């Protein structure tokens, strides 16, 4: 046992210096951590200043509520946009006109065919046939570019012209 006491007493100064070194290192780490915490606290207080919010939790809750409201508004706007797109596709926005002489050499290009269709090629084709004595106007409904009534070559041409529009 005396040998053990002798070894410990010889190495005691080394142990004390080692522990002192560890304590100094821990003190430095503690000072650095305190400085970082002070910096973070200053940034936190600067962020929270002027918002009327007491803590970060309230701020995060408010931000989440605002985000939820924005998502709801966005969903409503998407619904409105989709409804407008459906309505636009159904609008008769493609129009084409072709003038021609329906009766050969006995007149001018006073006859015409007019197509008014939507993106699905549904709508109406109007044809006016004009000669010196009379004028006739015909209306033919269209579904998918076709009609239940026979279409003249001019009417087919005007439907094709209207279909090519963007």
Helix orientation angle between 2-48 and 56-90, rounded to the nearest 10 degrees: 50
**Cα–Cα distance, 22 to 16 (Å, whole number):** 10
Q: What is the pLDDT of residues 103-130, one digit of tens each?
A: 776 667 888 999 999 888 889 999 998 8
**Cα–Cα distance, 155 to 12 (Å, whole number):** 112
Same domain for 84 and 130: no
Q: What is the pLDDT of residues 62-75, one digit of tens each?
A: 889 999 999 999 99
Q: Tokens for 97?
A: 């006109």
Same domain for 67 and 19: no
Question: What pTM does this model have?
Answer: 0.52
Same domain for 82 and 138: no
Range of the domain at 79: 58-90
Same domain for 37 and 4: yes
Number of separate domains in the chain: 3
Instruction: Please tell me what DSSP assigns to residue 105.
Output: G
Q: Which residues pair with 139 in a beta bridge?
A: 126
Same domain for 63 and 40: no
Across 35-49, average pLDDT: 86
Same domain for 73 and 37: no
Q: Beta strands 111-117 and 94-100: pairing type?
A: antiparallel
């Amino acid at each position: 046992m005396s040998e053990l006491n002798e070894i410990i007493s010889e190495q005691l100064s080394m142990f004390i210096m080692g522990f002192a070194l560890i304590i100094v290192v821990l003190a430095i780490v503690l000072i650095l951590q305190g400085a970082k915490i002070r910096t973070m606290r200053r940034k936190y207080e600067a962020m929270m200043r002027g918002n009327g919010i007491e803590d970060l939790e309230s701020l995060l809750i408010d931000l989440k509520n605002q985000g939820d409201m924005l998502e709801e508004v966005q969903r409503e706007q998407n619904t409105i946009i989709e409804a407008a797109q459906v309505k636009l596709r159904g609008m008769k926005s493609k129009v084409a006109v072709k003038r021609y002489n329906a009766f050969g050499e006995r007149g001018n290009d006073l006859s015409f065919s007019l197509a008014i269709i939507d993106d699905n090629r549904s709508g109406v084709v109007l044809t006016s046939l004009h000669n010196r004595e009379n004028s006739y106007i015909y209306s033919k409904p269209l579904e998918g570019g076709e009609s239940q009534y026979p279409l003249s070559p001019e009417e087919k041409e005007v439907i094709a012209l209207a279909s090519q529009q963007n």
